[in-house]
Amino acid sequence: MGSTPQLASTPGRPVRSLGAIAYGLGVAHGWMAAMHFTHHEVTPAAFAYFVIAVVVPLLLAYLIAGRGARRDWNKVGLWFLLLSLLIFVGLAHGLPLLGAGAR
């Protein structure tokens, strides 16, 4: 019981790399959704879709899990991944049914 700090993580908290992996997968999914909406063409519209695909789920995830006295960025990352998958899988399959995105 010396003065050296303990490096063990607190129980009940996910490993820090889990949040980083979730952010990376969410951003990758946003890029793939943007490519899907632009029919795999890199255009300025693809970058606009990409920004929307990242910002909207990130803001929603921050509102759900990031507010409060202590922000848990791992929880925000996991919510970001979940919301990006739910929102854009639904849009990718729902918008063509409505005639949007058709050439």
Is there a contact between 26 and 80 (Cβ–Cβ < 8 Å)?
yes
> How many Cα atoms are found within 13 Å in the side-chain-facing hemisphere of 7?
0
Distance CA 29, CA 35 (A): 10
Give me the tens of pLDDT residue by residue for the chain, a chain 103 residues long. 556 555 555 555 555 788 888 899 989 988 888 888 788 899 998 898 888 888 988 999 988 887 777 778 888 888 999 998 888 777 666 666 666 554 4
If DSSP states are collapsed to H, E and C, what string results for 17-57?
HHHHHHHHHHHHHHHHHHHHHCCCCCCHHHHHHHHHHHHHH
pTM of the model: 0.69
pLDDT of residue 65: 84
Query: In the structure encoding, which two tokens stand for residue 43, read together?
Result: 């255009």
Residue 31: closest CA among 82, 84, 78: 84
pLDDT of residue 10: 56
pLDDT of residue 4: 58
Q: Give 92: exposed, middle or buried? Use CB within 10 Å, 0-12, 13-18, 19+.
A: middle
pLDDT of residue 102: 47
